[in-house]
Chain A
């Protein structure tokens, strides 16, 4: 029977995203060239939430895109065929500052795949990485620029993200086998 520990409740998630939005703004000045790209699927929800927070601060819309990395993963033949979700790029990203947004940073392989996928759409001036949870165990030299929460985990643990946009539960759980 797996143990389940709550890592973040809705209040903590909201607080972490608010802080991350502030850090993104501090790092990128007036954010004129900023594009948020959510990594399918939970990253998309988080990117939209971050965009809403930034829009409130900046008083103007912040473009949000969605990026599917399934076709760029390096472990395709070790998995059952993963689902492919739509990629949507809001305009030309060449010369823009792209903030990749994902839910969990673990081995770093999804981020590597996301960087490859992003390259197909143009040459961003700078790419930054925002994640809600950094759980460690990196297999590649990748680190996040904006982190909601650092969580020490065992490799076999699983982080479960419940992000409900329709009033359901909004929480992050650590599942320990």
Chain B
């Protein structure tokens, strides 16, 4: 297929073919990251702005390094140090950034739909790095890339997403992506955080933890988002760990080759016992590493996906 999109705003609107194309492109970029010289000139002369209105270290750093490895010039822009604090609107901030001849804006925002809004008002390409509880497309892509790398396929995989689904943009993007590529997705967690209406997205919801983890090929543990919780959602992290945390006893119930994933940052001792997070079963650091390849692929594709038509006679 030929990539024609200018933005990456969500997984929901991507076709299975487009997702596969990003993953295939990411494979080539992973090889770039393993070379002695880890840079390629694909975005030379381009300016990439990391517009992180909501705090983040790992995603911002990952996007920054991805853009640097593509030889782009990168500006980091955080809400704390910006005019947004002085009451400037997002639109005005973004327009000012665009006036600096920005080519790609990577935005993280606490409001769902903020990247879509920017894509409508700006000429620059926009990448969604997480918008509220809506979507986090590159996280889902790097999760899928890791599953593909470790398991060789997505179709038919049994993936259990465990924890705070309600507030999780990672869960939403993962559900869209995995169901589009033919995986069987099971959601499990406290009933207050895993409402039944998620079944409409094509996945199974269960509140029986043992049943959810027994057959799973992949266990994707989500972070309990203290900052988004209302007090009524569950009694406390101790109780969550006791009822839904992955501990030694529960690990014994899982398939011996089931992957343990977590988008980070981990609350050690809450979602997962510390030693399990550091064990051979955990692919958490592979996810971080694969994030670079996936984000390089996304930046590369949207940068090229604007031309009128593919040129013939490429020699």
Q: Could you list which residues of chain A lie within 8 angstroms of chain B, going by C-beta atoms?
A: 68, 70-72, 75-87, 102-107, 109-111, 116, 120-121, 135, 157-159
A107 touches B315 (CB 8 A): yes
Q: How far is the CB of A34 from chain B (nearest CB, A)?
A: 22
Contacts of A110 on B, CB cut-off 8 Å? 314-315
Q: Select B310's contact among A68, A79, A85, A102, beta carbons within 8 Å.
A: A79
- Given A76-B42, A78-B307, answer yes or no on A84-B314 (Cβ-Cβ < 8 Å): no
Complex partner residue of B3 from A80, A85, A105, CB under 8 angstroms: A80
Task: Tally chain B residues at the interface, Cβ within 8 Å.
Answer: 33
- State the Cβ distance, B50 to closest chain A Cβ, in Å: 20
CB A65 to nearest CB in B, in angstroms, measures 12
Chain B interface SS verdict (over half): loop
CB<8 Å pairs between A and B, sample of 6: A71-B40, A71-B70, A77-B304, A81-B305, A85-B28, A120-B40
Cβ of B37: which chain A residues have Cβ within 8 Å of it?
120-121
Which of chain B's residues have a CB closer than 8 A to the CB of A68?
28
Closest 8 CB pairs of A and B: A81-B304, A106-B315, A71-B40, A84-B28, A81-B3, A71-B42, A104-B315, A120-B37
A71 to B32, CA, bound (A): 10
* Nearest-CB residue, chain B, relative to A76: B304
Q: Complex: how many Å from CA A104 to CA B4? A: 26
A61–B300 Cα distance when bound, in Å, is 36
Which B15-43 residues have C-beta < 8 A from chain A?
Answer: 24-25, 27-29, 31-32, 35-37, 40-42
Which residues of chain A come closer than 8 Å to B303, judged between CB atoms?
76-77, 81
Bound complex: CA of A111 vs CA of B24, how far in Å? Answer: 24
Complex alpha-carbon distance, A107 and B27, angstroms:
29
What residues of B have a CB within 8 angstroms of the CB of A78 in the complex?
Answer: 307, 311
**Chain B residues with Cβ under 8 A from A87's Cβ?**
28, 31
By a CB distance below 8 angstroms, the chain B residues around A116 are 41
With A71-B41, A86-B27 known as contacts, the answer to whether A77 contacts B307 (CB < 8 A) is yes
Over the window 296-307 of chain B, the binary record of Cβ atoms lying under 8 Å from chain A Cβ atoms (1 yes, 0 no) is 010011111111
B313 beta carbon closer than 8 Å to chain A = yes
Complex alpha-carbon distance, A158 and B305, angstroms: 23
B279 within 8 A of A: no
B168 CB, nearest partner CB in chain A, Å: 30
For the complex formed, measure the closest distance between the CB of B127 and the CB atoms of chain A, giving whole angstroms.
Answer: 14
The answer to whether B315 and A105 touch across the interface, beta carbons within 8 angstroms, is yes
Q: Which of B300, B302, B306, B315 contacts A71 (CB 8 A)?
A: B300
Assembled-state Cα–Cα distance A47/B302 (Å): 32
Pairwise interchain contact A80-B300, C-beta atoms closer than 8 A: no
Instruction: Tell me which residues across on chain A come within 8 A of B314, comparing CB atoms.
Output: 82, 106, 110
A76-B304, A82-B314, A106-B314 known; 16 new pairs, CB 8 Å cut-off, are A70-B42, A71-B40, A71-B42, A76-B42, A78-B311, A79-B304, A80-B307, A81-B303, A82-B310, A83-B25, A86-B27, A103-B315, A120-B37, A135-B315, A158-B313, A159-B313
**Is A80 touching B313 in the complex (CB atoms < 8 A)?**
no
CB atoms of B301 and A81 under 8 A apart: yes
Most buried by B among A80, A104, A158: A80
